[in-house]
């Protein structure tokens, strides 16, 4: 089982020093990877604490990459249809190269319609824009020159260049649980990054995924929240996920204060040490 940790990139006490310290500690403790999440703009009444800080996930990972040398870097998740694929592809390729190939792109289609409206992105086309955006990013990451004909995303790409290409392919793990998301994961994903499911809830999804994507390099991952208080409960949960075939778990603090991150990192670090 590979274990990762969410960085203190969200919350009233989030900031560069907290992110740096957490990334360095995660690397020292032997974590597989560190993760960030995305919201660009939030309406009043969104299901988050009042006035939450949401630092940009790609820039926060770039900062973490500069402070570390081994630990992986993941997004949980980027909302792809809110962004134009070309500048995002450039940012991600740059991070992949600056980090010497440590990036995992956790990707989703999004759910907050007001956020799409604020960005001028069509909410009801988000699935189709996700599929096309991934195809566009993979084209510019692997072809030089590149030609791409888009239908849903405004782009005219004919015999063009976007250098440098990533030093190695960027794996894409899809979140969400809808049938459309499941089919997208099976069709074009390198992994599945589920969230907030119990082992019992995840078991039939994992079984179905493995029946259609049996290759071991297709990673089955789960995001789970933990308070940092009961280490035995976390060990039992991780063991139950491992038993159903989950290969990777990213632990995020149940709350978002710096003290909670410290407790969670130290607690999960003890679990990492038991597995080494």
Give the model's pLDDT for residue 77: 96
The pLDDT assigned to 276 comes to 53
| pLDDT score at 159 | 98
pLDDT for residue 138 is more than 90: yes
Instruction: Answer whether 0.85 is exceeded by the pTM.
Output: yes
Nearest-angstrom CA–CA distance, 227 and 26: 17
Residue 51 has pLDDT above 90, yes or no: no
Query: Mean pLDDT in the chain?
Result: 94
Q: What is the pLDDT of residue 49?
A: 63
The predicted structure's pLDDT at residue 11: 84
The better pLDDT of the pair 266, 177 is held by 266
Pairing outcome for strands 146-149 and 156-160: antiparallel
pLDDT tens per residue across span 217-232: 999 999 999 999 999 9
What is the average per-residue pLDDT within 158-179? 95
C-beta contacts of 196-204 below 8 A and 24+ residues apart: 196/223, 196/224, 196/225, 197/222, 199/237, 199/240, 199/241, 199/243, 199/244, 199/246, 202/241, 202/244, 202/246, 203/244
Percent of the chain's residues with pLDDT above 90:
87
- Residue 45 binned pLDDT confidence (cut-offs 50, 70, 90): confident
Average pLDDT, stretch 190-216? 96
């Amino acid at each position: 089982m590979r274990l990762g940790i969410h960085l203190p990139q969200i919350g009233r006490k989030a900031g560069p020093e907290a992110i740096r310290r957490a990334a360095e500690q995660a690397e020292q403790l032997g974590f597989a990877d560190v993760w960030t999440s995305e919201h660009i703009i939030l309406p009043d009444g969104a299901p988050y604490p009042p006035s939450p800080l949401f630092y940009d996930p790609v820039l926060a990972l770039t900062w973490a990459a500069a402070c570390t040398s081994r630990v992986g870097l993941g997004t949980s998740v980027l909302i792809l249809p809110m962004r134009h694929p070309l500048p995002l592809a450039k940012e991600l390729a740059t991070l992949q190269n600056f980090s010497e190939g440590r990036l995992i792109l956790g990707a989703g289609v999004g759910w907050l319609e007001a956020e799409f409206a604020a960005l001028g992105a069509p909410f009801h086309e988000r699935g189709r824009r996700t599929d096309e955006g991934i195809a566009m990013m993979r084209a510019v990451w692997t072809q030089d020159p590149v030609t791409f004909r888009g239908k849903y995303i405004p782009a005219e790409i004919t015999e063009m260049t976007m250098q440098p290409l990533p030093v190695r392919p960027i794996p894409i793990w899809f979140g969400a649980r809808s049938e459309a998301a499941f089919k997208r994961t099976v069709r074009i994903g390198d992994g599945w990054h589920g969230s907030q499911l119990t082992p019992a809830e995840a078991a039939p999804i994992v079984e179905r995924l493995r029946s259609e994507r049996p290759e071991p390099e297709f990673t089955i991952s789960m995001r789970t929240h933990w308070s940092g208080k009961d280490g035995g409960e976390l060990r039992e949960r991780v063991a139950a996920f491992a038993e159903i075939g989950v290969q990777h778990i990213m632990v995020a603090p149940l709350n978002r204060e710096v003290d909670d991150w410290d407790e969670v990192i130290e607690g999960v670090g003890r679990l990492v040490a038991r597995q080494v």
